[in-house]
Chains A and B, each alone.
Chain A
Amino acid sequence: MNMSVGWVFFYLLVFPGFLFTSVVGLLYTWVDRKVTARIQFRVGPPLLQPFYDFFKLLGKDTFVPEGAPRSIFLGAPLIGLASVSVLSTVLLVSNLFPGQAFAGDLIVVLYLFAFVPIVLILGASSSSNPISALGASREMSLYLAYELPLLFALATIIVKSGGLLKIGDLLQWQWTNHPFLYSASGALAFVSAFLCMQAKLGFVPFDIAEAEQEIMGGITLEYSGPVLAVLKLTKAMLYFTVSIFLTVFFWGGFRSPREGWYHILGWLKPLAIIVLIILIKNTNPRLRIDQALRFFWSIVLVLSIAGFILATVGL
């Protein structure tokens, strides 16, 4: 793998990194709002609505609350944006060009995923607003709740594939054998990873840290104008990245070496995953933080450990 610096920048900034992911991510939020509206028998927003929202926010004022450290408060969302761009680049490149994966990129992906909640917590707790701080503490508990099942879910597929740590190799394994989703252990791992990702995105029933009706947006409460636009964009990109993550690790990726129709159908997999996410989002009430903790540490953790044990026996 000999990549020139120019190509690296192209991957990172244009395709499949920042630009591509943000456009598709914003379209995903449109799908989200449209499907939600249709479920509620409404008409829903026009296709370009997320882009209007984004550009509108760019044109507005920004407040930095009194007593908040400027650099952390304004810098945190930018770090989040950067880490999601890198994350989506790594995931997409390793599926589009499986040869270019580097050793241990799985670990890098895990760390980059952890960055988003950390950045949100940092920004919210530096805003010197008690309600934001409440949101930050809830985000922290939620992070602790879903991180362990997520690790077990990934450990399951690593054990199943016989100790592969490269995303490219994992994909290769799925292409020669079968997607992990189609085995007992893989299905359990998928279900638990899916629930963890719902919490990672901060969607109902796990939108406890934002809880608009209760703590007024919690972690995003103090943000306004362009910084809020960056936060919304990060969320949108994360939305897309999560669907790619689940397809790449459990469903054999969106692009496989097989040619023909299968090729196009592969791009529908992430879409199917987000429709599932939206359906769960629209049919559940918000949990309390203690209920969410109990849910992840009893049911989801048991599910993922069961999957792990099944994988060690080879199922």
Chain B
Amino acid sequence: MLKKLKKAALARSLWIYHVAASPCNNCDIEILDLLTPRFDVERFGLLLAASPRHADLLLVTGMVNKKVLDRVLRVYAQIPKPCVVAAVGSCAISGDLFVDSYNFAGPLDKHIPVDVYIGGCPPKPEAMILGVMRAIEKLKKLKDL
């Protein structure tokens, strides 16, 4: 019963913390689009959190390079569990056109567990909303948190 309440509440109130792990900045701008009147994800209880300690949903954009990897890991460790991680954009999923780069540290899911993949370069805001909805569905299906 308590677990159910906890899960239901979490699925309805994901606070976003967004890490820019060396993106080209285009994905980040599309993320900010989500909060504009046109898309308004606050309808689903999503809010931008100021600090990783307040967050439930980690959005990582960009190809994770060797320098920024340490920071991504640290931010992930600082998010109170249970939390959801989303890889936003082709860069975070696979490296996109930077796969051959000398400082590419591998796709994001090599380093931290990723729950949803939102593809695109950059993904459209609609695609991101779909991704978040998938994350919420996934949360609801989990047995325990």
A60 touches B45 (CB 8 A): no
Q: How many angstroms between the C-alpha atoms of A2 and B43 in the bound complex?
A: 49
* Given A52-B13, A52-B45, A63-B78, A224 and B53 contact (CB-CB distance below 8 Å): yes
Residues of B within 8 A of A63 (CB): 53, 78, 80
Residues of A within 8 A of B10 (CB): 56, 59
Residues of A within 8 A of B121 (CB): none
Residues of A37-65 at the interface with B, using a CB-CB cut-off of 8 Å, are 37, 40-46, 49, 51-56, 58-63
Residues of A within 8 A of B37 (CB): 40-42
Residues of B within 8 A of A236 (CB): none
The 3 closest A-B pairs by CB, nearest first: A217-B50, A59-B6, A55-B9
B42 touches A59 (CB 8 A): no
**Taking the nearest CB of chain B, how far is it from the CB of A79, in angstroms?**
21
A44 touches B53 (CB 8 A): no
A42 touches B42 (CB 8 A): yes
| 16 A-B pairs whose Cβ atoms sit less than 8 Å apart in the complex | A41-B37, A42-B40, A45-B43, A53-B45, A55-B5, A59-B6, A59-B145, A61-B80, A62-B80, A216-B50, A217-B50, A217-B51, A220-B54, A221-B50, A222-B51, A224-B80
Q: How many angstroms between the C-alpha atoms of A306 and B48 in the bound complex?
A: 42
Q: How many angstroms between the C-alpha atoms of A46 and B11 in the bound complex?
A: 14
Residues of A within 8 A of B28 (CB): none
A43 touches B145 (CB 8 A): no
Q: How many angstroms between the C-alpha atoms of A53 and B56 in the bound complex?
A: 11
B56 touches A60 (CB 8 A): yes
* Given A45-B43, A55-B9, A61 and B81 contact (CB-CB distance below 8 Å): yes
Q: How many angstroms between the C-alpha atoms of A46 and B81 in the bound complex?
A: 25
Residues of B within 8 A of A61 (CB): 80-81
Name B5's closest neighbour in chain A (CB-CB).
A55
Residues of A196-235 at the interface with B, using a CB-CB cut-off of 8 Å, are 210, 212-213, 216-217, 220-225, 228
B50 touches A52 (CB 8 A): no
Q: How many angstroms between the C-alpha atoms of A67 and B129 in the bound complex?
A: 40
A221 touches B9 (CB 8 A): no
**Taking the nearest CB of chain A, how far is it from the CB of B80, in angstroms?**
4
Q: Which residues of A contact B (CB under 8 A)?
A: 33, 37, 40-46, 49, 51-56, 58-63, 210, 212-213, 216-217, 220-225, 228
**Taking the nearest CB of chain A, how far is it from the CB of B82, in angstroms?**
7
A221 touches B40 (CB 8 A): no
Q: Does B12 contact A (CB under 8 A)?
A: yes
* Given A56-B6, A59-B9, A59-B10, A37 and B53 contact (CB-CB distance below 8 Å): no
**Taking the nearest CB of chain B, how far is it from the CB of A212, in angstroms?**
4
Residues of B73-114 at the interface with A, using a CB-CB cut-off of 8 Å, are 78, 80-82
Name B6's closest neighbour in chain A (CB-CB).
A59
B82 touches A43 (CB 8 A): no
Q: How many angstroms between the C-alpha atoms of A186 and B28 in the bound complex?
A: 50
Residues of B within 8 A of A224 (CB): 53-54, 80
B5 touches A60 (CB 8 A): no
Interface string of B127-139 (1 = CB under 8 A from A): 0000000000000
B80 touches A60 (CB 8 A): yes
Q: How many angstroms between the C-alpha atoms of A37 and B50 in the bound complex?
A: 19
